[in-house]
Amino acid sequence: MTGGDSFVSIHDRAYELAKTIQQSEEYQKYLEAKEKLSKDEKNAGMLQEFRRQQVEIQIAEMQGEDIDLNLEQLEKVYQILSLNPLINEFLTAEYRFARIIADIQKILGEALDLWIDIDYTKKNMN
């Protein structure tokens, strides 16, 4: 097998994995919940505003700002949103699907030893 054949095989397997993910129950439920939510402008807008606030807090945290009060407010908004059946269904489906993607990323990272070993780099610098 030449290098080019290996490249094609890797891509073929990646497409197989993508197709398997697309056919998964978690992905299908995510798509259904996303479709339902997208048809409800009010609820979709509330979730979009919540997500905007999340990003703002993350940026503030990266800039070293005190975010405790903002986090408390965001948590209260999340609790209210999660009481909404449509939004809760979407968030639950999104979470379950995201877990699959995170698991795949973790499996690949561990299998390919992609994580940087900080202790190792320190040892080599001495």
- For the stretch 64-91, pLDDT in tens is 999 999 999 999 999 999 999 999 999 9
- SS3 of 61-92: the string is HHCCCCCHHHHHHHHHHHHHHHCCHHHHHHHH
- pLDDT band per the 50, 70, 90 thresholds, residue 124: low
- Structural domain count of the chain: 1
- pLDDT band per the 50, 70, 90 thresholds, residue 120: low
Would you say residue 122 has pLDDT above 70? no
Q: Which domain holds residue 81?
A: 3-125
CATH number at residue 89: 1.20.1500.10
pLDDT for residue 93: 98
Its sign, for the CA torsion 94, 95, 100, 105, is: positive
Q: What is the mean pLDDT of residues 47-58?
A: 95
